[in-house]
Amino acid sequence: MQNLEQLRAKHALANVGELDKSAISKLPALILNNGLLAATAFTLDGGGDNRAQMKTAMDLVAHYLRERSLVGASVSDGRTLIADLTSRDSIALQGAATEALAYLSYLKRFATKSKE
């Protein structure tokens, strides 16, 4: 049986691809200051610097939360993550946000550094 740290690391390592570390680094602060729903909504429009990378990272968060059964089976990306979490109670949202922050720390560790 694997612990949560192993599950987070395994998923992040398998899915990080070519994500830019600088884009992922902005997400925890967004979540802490604005909440998971607002941070996810911020990533949806795709404009601005690193926004596409941030959206990809939040899509991975949605996938991970679905895999951990913290959200519904229909969650596939940031938009469906928001829809699912708005239909749940605040305890479920808080749990998802906490787990998203823990997952993002691994995703950031495995991401590549910006070439700038």
Does residue 74 lie in a domain region?
Answer: yes
Query: Range of 47's domain?
Result: 4-110
Does residue 78 lie in a domain region?
Answer: yes
Does residue 9 lie in a domain region?
Answer: yes
Separation between Cα atoms, residue 41 and residue 80, nearest integer Å: 11
Total of domains in the chain: 1
Rg (C-alpha) for the chain, rounded Å, is: 13
Does residue 97 lie in a domain region?
Answer: yes
Q: Would you state the structure tokens that stand for residue 2, as one six-digit string?
A: 């694997």
Does residue 10 lie in a domain region?
Answer: yes
Does residue 69 lie in a domain region?
Answer: yes
Listed in sequence order, the residues at least 6 apart from 42 whose beta carbon sits closer than 8 Å to its beta carbon are 30, 34, 54
Does residue 17 lie in a domain region?
Answer: yes
**CATH for 102:** 1.10.520.30
pTM: 0.92
Share of the chain above pLDDT 90, in %: 82
The predicted model gives 8-34 an average pLDDT of: 94
Instruction: Tell me the per-residue pLDDT of 61-76, one tens digit each, with 9 for 90 and over.
Output: 999 999 999 999 999 9
CA angle 100/105/108 to nearest 5° reads: 115
Instruction: Tell me the per-residue pLDDT of 76-113, one tens digit each, with 9 for 90 and over.
Output: 999 999 999 999 999 999 999 999 999 999 999 999 88
Does residue 90 lie in a domain region?
Answer: yes
| Amino acid of residue 84 | D
In the chain, the DSSP E strands lie at none
